Amino acid sequence: MGLFSFFKKSPEQVKTSTDPYTDSSTNLIYNLLFCDSINLYKDNTKPPYTYPFDILFSETSTISDLQKIIDDSTSDARLKVLSYNRQIAGGHKPSKKELLTVIVEVGLDNGLDALASFNDGTARYINQTGKILVCETTDEKSNELTKDLFLKSQDIVNKIGAWDKPRRPAPTKGNLRITFLVSDGLYFGEGPIDLLFNDPMASPALTSATYLMKYLTEKSLETK
């Protein structure tokens, strides 16, 4: 699979830190994107817990209880990922392979750029400076760009396997990673920026993500 399987051959290179920014609140937003720690969500949600957090945070929730969140059309994509992850941890294999989030991280001179696009059209963008852009409202153009990104990302997911180890630390300067949060796990590809943008499998999705990021940032500047 080329660059998409390269890092699976060298797990000894994996570091332990997943905090790429100097500001703790920015690191929190960043780590929440990946939905791989339900305790991180619990620690940052004020009780008493109401739906769907009462289900997510309860140790007695059943596979069926979690499925209610997954099947709820109003559920946030991240909460669906958390629900799927809890089902998997409980020994349940999801009945469908659903792509919920695409995250592109680029190691730049002054830090990490990170774009997270969710399948409902919303997004988060963290600039290398640590500045955060939250896009909760969608329009025809953003929905079109999101749909295109997910279609091209699905092509990649269909050709690679899920990662079965802890999430790697953020890409270093000059490297890029594209991560897919899917109902059956986390998928990713990583390598030098130029190589991935020229990789036949990765390039279409990365180009779509670039267009989406450009549109969202320009739209944000126009509304200020």
- Residue by residue, what is the 3-state secondary structure of 91-144? CCCCCCCCEEEEEEEEEECCEEEEEEEECCCCEEEECCCCCEEEECCCCHHHHH
> Who's near 84: CB < 8 A, 6+ residues apart?
66, 70, 94, 98, 100, 183, 184
Domain boundaries, the chain: 19-222
DSSP-derived pairing of the beta strands 175-182 and 99-108:
antiparallel
Model pTM score: 0.92
Report pLDDT digits (tens) over 195-215: 999 999 999 999 999 999 999
Using DSSP's 3-state secondary structure scheme, residue 219 falls into helix
At 105-142, the pLDDT tens digits run: 999 999 999 999 999 999 999 999 999 999 999 999 99
